[in-house]
Structure 1
Amino acid sequence: MLSQEQNETLTQVGPGKPMGELLRRYWYPIAASSEVEKVGTIKKVKILGEELVLFRDKSNTLGLVADKCAHRGVSLEYAIPEQCGLRCQYHGWLYDRDGQCIEQPNEPENSTFKNRIKLSGYPVEELGGFVFAYMGPSPAPELPKWDLFVQKNVIRTIGYAVIPCNWMQIMENSLDPTHLEWLHGHYFEHVFEQQGRQQDEWKITKHHLKIGFDEFDWGIIKRRVLEGQTEENEDWAIGHPIVFPNMLRVGDSGAHSFQIRVPMDDTHTLHFWYTCFVPKEGVEVPEDYPISLYECPIKDENDKFIIDYIDGQDMMAWITQGPIADRTTERLGTSDKGIIMFRQMLKRELKRVENGEDPKCVIRDPEQNQYIELPQEEDKFSEGGLLSGVAKDWNTRYAPNLDEIIDLCKGGTVSSVL
């Protein structure tokens, strides 16, 4: 268990908080590019406790500044896009893409008042269908070119949900291998039984014989051996990575995914499911093939958690721990060593930031950032179609172009997992 002070250190993400300062050393996806592709678009966002507006001005350039005008506090979500920034709709104050006020129409022409007015402004970049933001000290590090963001000839989808809980309990779920056989195994069987569905096509309730965790350059590798398997199985021999501080990588030979947890504030997380599907042999995916964007529902019309798909089960588990999990009352066992390792890594990196150093996974060298390939098992559990019967119950079932994806991937692994 943790003390209340320790729990607060790990979960408070606002400006000036230790974890907030650590997290500000990284780039975060804050929107899909498709949401702000039109000139003049303004989208309100919240990240690391700050209310901001993302916009594309009339020069077709993206900007990210604080939401409230410095004059009278009006929201800039309804501002007027200009050639070089945003003009407040209330009294016409104009802000450039860095948040600097550059014009105040009703002040004397020779006034220097505007020079002393500046909103928070942050750099943004586009990559892989996302708009990323960096909110830390200058100079900004490289925006990491993780393999899935720059991989060629794949079909991409982006699912999202605003999860009403702290980012830490979502990340800790990724360091917990054994919940697979229970939450997504025995519990899934229970759900199917209640729904009267057949469940003889698949089984993921095999007992975990061994779990392991190793630190590597980009985070932690998670490994497992299930009953009837050996350490030669890819899920142990290769494993799959948790990318520090806020991403999980999952998948198989047909589709790889990132789960990206973006802390909005202490009790809300913007969660993205970023999936790359491999088309069937001979199919070339155009560079400009649209990336579908869809919302993943959490509850049904009766305000009940949707628990007949894997990501819905995870969301139920994250959210029912409360807005911020109370770690002062937890009782961790030997199967929780991955969670303990992640917390120790966070504490270590907090110290590095306090000492003025770059934390883990901050990239400064462009040569190191050409294409960052992450380890990933291709034959999940060495069981062939082990997950093929249930993978249609992942978040991708809500993708608006699912039928088209199935058609483009028909005859390969992807068709079996959809």
Structure 2
Amino acid sequence: MLSKEQNEALTEVGAGKPMGELLRRYWHPIAISADVEKIGTIKKVKILDEALVLYRDKSNNLGLVADRCAHRGVSLEYAIPDECGLRCQYHGWLYDQTGQCVEQPNEPEDSTFKKRIKISGYEVKELGGLVFAYMGPAPAPELPNWDLFVQDNVIRTIGYAEIPCNWVQIMENSLDPTHLEWLHGHYFEHVFEQQGRPQNEWPITKRHLKIGFDEFEYGIIKRRVLEGQTEENEDWAVGHPIVFPNYLRVGDSGAHSFQIRVPIDDTHTLHFWYTCFVPAEGIKIPENYPISSYECPIYDENGKFVTDYIDGQDMMAWITQGPVADRSVERLGTSDKGIIMYRQMLKRELKKMQNGEDPKCTIRDPQQNQNIELPQEEDKFSEGGLLSGVAVHWNTRYAPNLIEIIDICKGEPVSSK
């Protein structure tokens, strides 16, 4: 268990808070590129407890600045995109991409007042269909070219949801292998039973014989051995990574995914499910194939959790721990060693940052950042193609184009299902 003060140190993400300052040393996705594709678009966002507006100006450049004009505090969500920045709709004050005020139309022409006016402004870049922001001290590190963001010949989809809980309890779920056999195994069978579906549809209700965790350059490798497996199986021999501080990598031979957890504030998290579908050998995906997006549902029409798909089950488990999990009353067991390892890593990297060092996964060398390949098992749970098969098909009522994507990747005629 953790004390109240220790828990706050890990979970509070505002500026000036220890974890908030650590997270500001990283690039975070804040939007899907398609949402701000049109010139003149303004999108209100809140990241790391800061209210901001993301915009595309008339020169087709993206900017990210504070939501409030420094003059009278009006929201810039309704501002006027200019040739090189954003102009407040109230009195015309113009801010450039750094947040510096560069024009004040009703002030004297020789006034230097504008030079003393600045709101927050942050670097933004696009990569792989996402818009990323860096909110930390200069100089910014490299925006990591993780393999899924730059991989050729794949079809990409992006799921998203705003989760009403703290980001750490979402990440800790990723360091908890044994919930697979219960939340996504036995519980799934229970859901099938309640729905009158055959219970033999789900192949992953297998007992964990062994779990393991190893630190590597970019985070932690999670490993497992299930009943019927040996350490020669890829689930153990290769495993899959948790990329520090807030990515999970999952997948199989047909689809590789990132789950990315971006803190909105202490009690809300912007979650992305970023998936690359890999075509069968000989199938060529057009370079301009559109990136589709979909919202992952949390609640049904009655306000109950939607728990008949894996991501919905996870969200139910994250959210029902409370807006911020109270770790002062938890009772961790031997199966929670991955969670303990992750917390120790967070504390260690906090100390490094406080000592003026770059924390883990900070990339400065452009040569290192060409295409960062991450380890990934292909034969998931020894079921081969599980996540691109039954699990993905089970999600198709939330993302209907997934069946079509799978058919394209297999080189089959587009399904009418």
Instruction: Classify the TM-score, shorter chain.
Output: over 0.9
**2: distance between equivalents of 1:85 and 1:39?**
12
Which is worse superposed, 187-196 or 105-114? 105-114
Q: Distance in 1 between matches of 2:192 and 2:39?
A: 47
Q: What residue identity is the alignment partner of 2:192?
A: F
SS in structure 1 of the partner of residue 192 of structure 2: helix
Task: Give the distance between the partners of 1:91 and 1:279, measured in 2 at CA.
Answer: 53
2:119 matched residue in structure 1 = 119
Counterpart in the other structure of 2:336: 336
Q: 1:394 to 1:85 in 2, by over 3 A?
A: farther
Unmatched runs of 5 consecutive residues or more in structure 1: none
The amino acid that maps onto 1:70 is A
Q: What are the residue-to-residue correspondences of 1:205-354 with 2, within 5 Å?
A: 205-354=205-354
Query: Could you tell me how far apart the structure 2 residues matched to 1:152 and 1:388 are?
Result: 18
Match of 2:129 in 1: 129
Question: Is the 8 Å Cα contact of residues 207 and 226 (structure 2) preserved in structure 1?
Answer: yes
Shift in CA distance, 61/172, structure 1 to aligned 2, threshold 3 Å: same
Cα deviation, 1:97-119, whole Å, max 9, x if unaligned, reads 11000111111111111110001
Instruction: Say which SS state the counterpart of residue 181 (structure 1) adopts.
Output: helix
Contact 1:202 1:388 in 2 (8 A): no
Aligned counterpart, 1:168: 168
Match of 1:91 in 2: 91
| Cα deviation, residue 227, structure 1 | 1.1
Report percent identity of matched pairs.
84
Judge conservation of contact 1:157–1:399 (CA < 8 Å) in 2: no
Is the partner of 1:122 in helix, strand or coil?
strand
Name the structure 2 match of 1:153.
153
- Tell me the residue number matched to 2:75: 75
Structure 1 position 385, deviation (Å): 5.4
Q: Which amino acid counterpart does residue 224 of structure 1 have in structure 2?
A: R
Instruction: Decide whether the 8 Å contact of 1:159 with 1:396 is kept in 2.
Output: no
Cα offset, 1:400, TM superposition = 4.6
**Structure 1 CA distance for aligned equivalents of residues 135 and 223 of structure 2:** 33
SS of 2:269's partner is: strand
- 1:104 maps to 104
Change (3 A) 1:96 1:381: same
- SS of the equivalent of 1:275 reads strand
What is the alpha-carbon distance in structure 1 between the residues aligned to residue 178 and residue 209 of structure 2? 10
Superposition deviation, residue 179 in structure 1: 0.1
Structure 2 CA distance for partners of 1:269 and 1:393, relative to 1, 3 Å: farther
| Secondary structure of 1:324's aligned partner | coil
What are the equivalent positions in structure 2 for 1:24-43 lying under 5 Å apart?
24-43=24-43
Q: What amino acid maps onto 1:78 in structure 2?
A: Y
| Greater Cα offset, 375-384 or 11-20 | 375-384
- Structure 2 counterpart of 1:356: 356
Question: TM-score when scaled to structure 1?
Answer: 0.96
Deviation of residue 205 (structure 1)?
1.3
**Which letter maps to 2:46?**
K
Task: State how far apart, in whole Å, the 1-side matches of 2:375 and 2:63 are.
Answer: 34
Aligned residue runs from structure 1 range 178-193, under 5 A: 178-193=178-193
CA–CA distance in structure 1, aligned partners of residues 364 and 78 of structure 2: 36
Is 1:202 aligned with 2:202? yes
TM-score normalised according to structure 2 size: 0.97
Q: What one-letter code is carried by the residue in structure 2 that aligns with 1:164?
A: P
Opposite residue 186 of structure 2, the aligned amino acid is H
Structure 2 contact 165–324 (Cα < 8 Å) conserved: yes
Post-superposition offset of 1:142: 0.1
- Distance in structure 1 (CA, Å) of the matches to 2:26 and 2:171: 16
The aligned residue for residue 11 of structure 2 is 11
Deviations 1:167-186 (A, max 9, x none): 00000000000000000000
Task: Give CA-to-partner distance per residue, 1:25-70, whole Å, 9 cap, x none.
Answer: 0000001111111100000011000000000000000000000000
Give the AA of the match of 2:281. Answer: E
Figure out how many residues of one structure are paired with residues of the other and give that number.
414
C-alpha displacement at 1:411, in angstroms? 6.3
Deviation of residue 394 (structure 1)?
Answer: 5.9
- One-letter identity of the residue aligned with 1:273: W
User: How large is the RMSD of aligned CA atoms in angstroms?
Assistant: 1.5
The yes-or-no answer on 1:56 pairing with 2:46 is no
Q: Bigger CA drift: 382-391 or 33-42?
A: 382-391
State the 1:288 CA deviation. 1.3
Structure 2 unmatched runs, 5+: none
Change over 3 Å in CA distance of 1:120–1:330 after alignment to 2: same
Counterpart amino acid of 1:257? S
